[in-house]
Structure 1
Amino acid sequence: MTDHDHTPRPAALGLTGLAVGLGIIGVSIGFATLLGLTATASGGDETTDYGPMAVTAVSSLVLGLLLIAGAVLLWRAHRAARVVIGVAVALLVMSSIARMVVDSVTFISVLGSVLSLCALVAMGVLLASSGVREHVREGVPLRLN
């Protein structure tokens, strides 16, 4: 083993944790929403007004899976990790901005938008950090000791 195997990578670990956490939240919300829409449709209720909700659920599911895949790639120090997570973060930023423009302004919508953007800014900073760049460049997977 080389010394690189035991080098702590806090930026890479932080970004991996944020990506997995937000990915799990996205997959959970998307799956639960699709499950609710399916239950509503199977109950015989009219679902034509739920089109935007279905699109949101599918996009949440896909972006969550993209973040989880990016986290796995980052853990393995794969070169595509930064691109995958970067694309997911960019799409999430656009989604957050669109939600702020379209949604009605309530306390919870403002709070959710601010917290989402804070998490995405943190991910962007970590993504651009030298620690993550070095981790991917060296190609040594992360380890928990």
Structure 2
Amino acid sequence: MVLVEELTAHGSRQLLRQGAAGILRRRTADEHLPWAVATVAMGSLALDPGLTEPVRNSYTRSGPVNREQDEAEARLSVLSPREQDVLALVGNGLSNRDIAGALNLSPDTVKEHLHRIRAKLGVETRLHAARIAWHAGVGMSHI
């Protein structure tokens, strides 16, 4: 069972691929934890109701959007989990200072992460990196 502050459909898929049996958002965990633990104990998947729709939609879209999403996800796969966290917050429009506060990092550390993210993705700007994230479904969630 994984408790998260915020998570996109892409992040949910990543956790599920890594073997998470359940994903709940912290702000609603009190309400959902009892049934989620029972569900996982019975061998089923427990997914926070607020995550169900974005995850379902990410698997049911078809055509060019899926190809574009698949390509973007492949590009993001080279990023470390922390770099993915930083990029998701960039995609949500946060400043370096706000990202630092959200992830308990210094602004200089965020700046270094962004430098590495741009290098790994082969892009020159923060906006281009965010655009790749958006195509992958990262950083555009209001969850």
TM-score by length of 2: 0.25
Normalized per residue, the structure richer in helix is 1
Q: Computing the radius of gyration over CA atoms, which structure comes out larger, 1 or 2?
A: 1
More strand by share: 2
